[in-house]
Amino acid sequence: MSGTIAEPRSAPAPGTSAPRRTARAGGPRAVRSAATFVKYVLLIGVAAVFVGPLYWLFTTAVKTPDEIYSFPPVWWPRDPSWDNFALAWNAAPFDRFFLNSAVTTVAGTALKILNAVLTAYAFSFLAFPRKQWLFLVLLGAMMVPGHVVLLPNFLTVAGLGWVNTYAGLILPGIGSVFATFLLRQHMMTIPRELIEAAKVDGAGHLRILFGIVLPVSRPILLTVVIITVVEEWNNFIWPLIVTNSDHMRTLPIGLMMLKNQEGLANWGTIMAGAVMVLAPMLLIFLIAQRHIVGGLTQGAVKG
């Protein structure tokens, strides 16, 4: 047969091509390993920044005074003591503070969510003049710092005789632009066919709202409820302004009173009081954190 047969290529000399291919193959793997290591180091650092103060708070609350002021620091109490909690509870009327915070949180959250749901439904499904302009005005209210309206609200509450009352604590804060915005953004993603079908069946607006819209909006509604509960529970400035007796004070103010009473001499008692204020909201957040993250991402791109 005619034609030439190609000669086989000579094998690469030892220590040349093969090692270079190995180096190229191992290079990206080494880079990925280094990047993963750096990510874990950064995550550990961020976790330490956020978890470290909480750890120190809870451990200090069960330490003895000698352990609190010892150097080097005692990272874990040798004999945890719960006496600080009893001292904090008796140093201030925390039972009354808990009651006031519970009432204002439950009532304030219920009224705020009801107001936000009705407003969001109106902006989503009702047709009325200048609706878009009114919604822009509503968004503009988010840019106004809350401290700007403290004086007008107080003058209004004082004129109505609501100083040092639950009405004065709760009613001025039942409007939430943030909650209305989140709910409206989600409601805009609900298929209009559902609403039209309900109207054909003769359903009114309240039936559509409570029978169709709210069940579909359950994740974002739960998120808004949790955010509002934490906001109401931790509210400090307005209860401090609108109340003038220990009988109507709330927990954040009670914690400030505890700190002023104990000074810098008994940090264990102060930390125990802080744990009592923090524990309910921390428990709620740990239970519902996945609902918060999931709810905030729903309806975020449509407006």
What pLDDT does 159 receive?
Answer: 92
The residues spanned by each domain of the chain are: 83-296
Q: What CATH number has the domain spanning 83-296?
A: 1.10.3720.10
Cα–Cα distance, 254 to 88 (Å, whole number): 10
Reading the chain (303 residues) residue by residue, the pLDDT tens digits are 444 555 555 555 555 555 454 445 456 777 778 888 888 888 888 888 888 888 888 888 888 888 888 778 778 888 787 888 888 888 888 889 999 999 999 999 999 999 999 999 999 888 888 888 988 888 888 888 878 888 899 999 999 999 999 999 999 989 888 899 989 988 988 888 888 888 888 888 889 988 889 998 888 898 899 889 989 999 999 999 999 888 899 999 988 888 887 666 778 888 888 898 888 888 888 887 776 666 555 544 444
pLDDT for 228 equals: 92
What 8-state DSSP symbol labels residue 213? I
CA 212 → CA 103, 104, 114, 119, distances in Å? 30, 29, 16, 16
Angle subtended by helix axes 251-262 and 94-125, to nearest 10: 140
What b-and-e string marks burial along 198-222, b requiring 16 or more CB atoms within 10 Å of the CB?
beeeeeebeebbeebbeeebebbbe
User: Residue 14's pLDDT is what?
Assistant: 53
Compute the radius of gyration of the chain from its Cα atoms: 30
* 8 A C-beta contact, residue 117 and residue 183: yes
Predicted TM-score (pTM) above 0.85: no
